Amino acid sequence: MARTQNDTGRAFEYAIVDYFERRGYALGPLASHHSSLYEPYFFAQTHQVQKDFQQSAEDFFNWFQNTLSSKVAKQIDGLPDNSGSVVDVFIGDLSKVVNFSLKHNHLALRHNRPHGLPERCGIPGTTEADAYLDSVYAIEKLMRIQDPVQHFSQLTNKRKWMKMINENCRQFLDTWQSSIPATVPTYFGFLTGNDRPYYKLVLDSRGANSGTYIHEFLTSSLPTKVKFSYNNSDHLVMEYNNGWTLKKRLHNAQSDLGTLDMKNYSQTTDWKWDVSLVSQPNPSIYKI
């Protein structure tokens, strides 16, 4: 069962929640639901990965007990998979919570898709949004005319279409930062989870620096400008004037191209950007 990054992430979340429950923390309704739902993903991992997850859960629990436990109630809960938030679990109750994003062997921020870009920039339903979506539709249509296949793996030149989607995004974001300046801080805030302070719990199982790390995302100023470039892997790099640099890696989330229907999201090409942090001012990340 555990074949994708999402599956592994669910297994890691199960290990965290299970450890806290065994140490006396009450489970909220979603944590309880996810615990039952994600248990098979945990046991589908190799024995070594299970041990790594359990050790990381113990390290995390001990760190939390020593630093933050006195500030919140002994309850752990989660958010729905489709919440759109960077937060996976939170500890506490309605009076005060501490938020956590859980990652295994990567530092990804929020994922987002080309067709959702106007909404993430705060301009859904506008003429600017319609113009952007029309341009995405044109690329999708051209791709199907020039390369009428059923699966991404069958595309003759997949990288060509990825470059077109990325460049189209860059052009519109660059235009919007002049014509609609609020799109810059709005999109940055979405990508970095600026809507709520949180900690990123990262288990790195690779190499000499393996271990469990805490990366703090507690405060950040919002940018007003962004500069764009591409790295050697054709990832779109966004350098913000608040000192943060992010990169967007485009890939297909599903193997099937699907049908071209802009009114039905599930039937459009499932391109997806994985956004990751390149640098930030005064980063606070430490091994626990």
The tokens for 249 are 């890696």
User: How many structural domains are present in the chain?
Assistant: 2
40 and 71 in contact (C-beta within 8 Å)? Answer: no
| Residue 207 forms part of a structural domain | no
> Is the separation of the CB atoms in 227 and 244 below 8 Å?
no
Q: Which of 70, 104, 138 is the last residue in one of the domains?
A: 104
Confirm if 53 and 203 have CB atoms less than 8 A apart: yes
* pLDDT exceeds 60 at position 263: no
Q: Which domain holds residue 265?
A: 112-191+220-279
Cα(217)–Cα(194) distance, integer angstroms: 8
Q: How far is CA 206 from the centre of its chain?
A: 21
Separation between Cα atoms, residue 117 and residue 132, nearest integer Å: 9
Is 13 a domain residue? yes
Least confident range from 63-77, 168-182, 255-269, 274-288: namely: 255-269
The mean of the pLDDT values for the chain is 88
- Name, of 68-72, 85-89, 267-271, the range with top average pLDDT: 68-72
Among the candidates 44, 71, 104, a domain finishes at 104
- How much is the pLDDT for 84? 67
Question: Given pLDDT bands bounded at 50, 70 and 90, which one contains residue 2?
Answer: very low
Q: How far is CA 149 from CA 143, 145, 161, 258, 268, in A?
A: 9, 9, 14, 10, 14
| pLDDT tens for each residue of 132-163 | 999 998 888 888 888 888 888 888 888 999 99
Question: Distance between CA 121 and CA 176 in Å, rounded?
Answer: 9
Q: Count of CB atoms within 10 A of residue 283's CB? A: 11
132 and 59 in a common domain? no
Which of 59, 76, 104 marks a domain boundary?
Answer: 104
Task: State how far the Cα of 219 lies from the Cα of 221, in Å rounded to an integer.
Answer: 7
Give residue 196's pLDDT.
Answer: 78
- pLDDT-based confidence at residue 266 (cuts at 50, 70, 90): very low
Judge if 98 and 116 occupy the same domain.
Answer: no
Task: Note whether 149 and 274 are same-domain residues.
Answer: yes
Domain annotation covers residue 211:
no
Residue 215 domain-assigned? no
Strands 108-112 and 271-279: antiparallel
